[in-house]
């Protein structure tokens, strides 16, 4: 089970993450903590292997 969902800011290009329950929200936004840019998670999501297993 992943611990978090990683995403990359469409404006500044930096990476961060949100909680896995965002997958249960309908088309959620995320916010870049570095530049505060808001974007759709589906557009910014990084497909990475996350967690220990």
Partner 1 sequence: MPKDMRVFLESYEKAHPEDVIRIKKQVNTAWECTAIARHFESLNKFPLIIFENLITANGEQSKFQTVINMLGDRRKLAYAIDSTFEDVAIEWRRRTDENRIKPVVISKKEAPCKENVLTGEQANLYKFPFLRHHGMDPGHYITMGLFTCYEPDSWIENTAFHRGFVAGPREIRCLLTPYTHSAYNLRKHEERDIPMKVAYQIGHHPAVIMGAETRGGYPESHYETAGGVAQEPLRLVPSETLGDDFLVSADAEIIIEGIMHPGKRDLEGPFGEYPRYFGPQQMNPVFEVTAITHRNNAICHSFMVGINNNFGGTQEEGTIYSFVKRLVPQVQRVYCPVSGAGRFHAYIQIRKTLEGQGKEAIMAALTTSEMLKHVIVVDEDIDIYDDRWVLWAVATRSQWDKDLVVIPGCRGAKLDPSVEDITTTKGGIDATMPAPPNRYSKRVYIPDDVMEKMQLEKYIDAEKIKSAPTATGR
Distance CA 25, CA 10 (A): 20
Q: Please tell me whether residue 18 binds partner 1 under the rule CB under 8 A.
A: yes
**Between residues 21 and 47, which has the closer beta carbon with respect to partner 1?**
21
- Smallest separation, CB 12 to partner 1 (Å): 12
Q: Please tell me whether residue 42 binds partner 1 under the rule CB under 8 A.
A: no
User: Tokens representing 13?
Assistant: 């290009």
Chain contacts with partner 1 (rule: CB under 8 A): 1, 3-5, 16-22, 25, 28-31, 33-34, 36, 38, 51-53
């Amino acid at each position: 089970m992943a611990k978090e969902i990683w995403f990359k800011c469409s404006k500044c290009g930096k990476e961060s993450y949100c909680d896995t329950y965002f997958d249960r929200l309908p088309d959620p936004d995320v916010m870049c903590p570095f530049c505060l840019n808001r974007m759709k998670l589906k557009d910014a999501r990084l497909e990475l292997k996350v967690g220990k297993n």
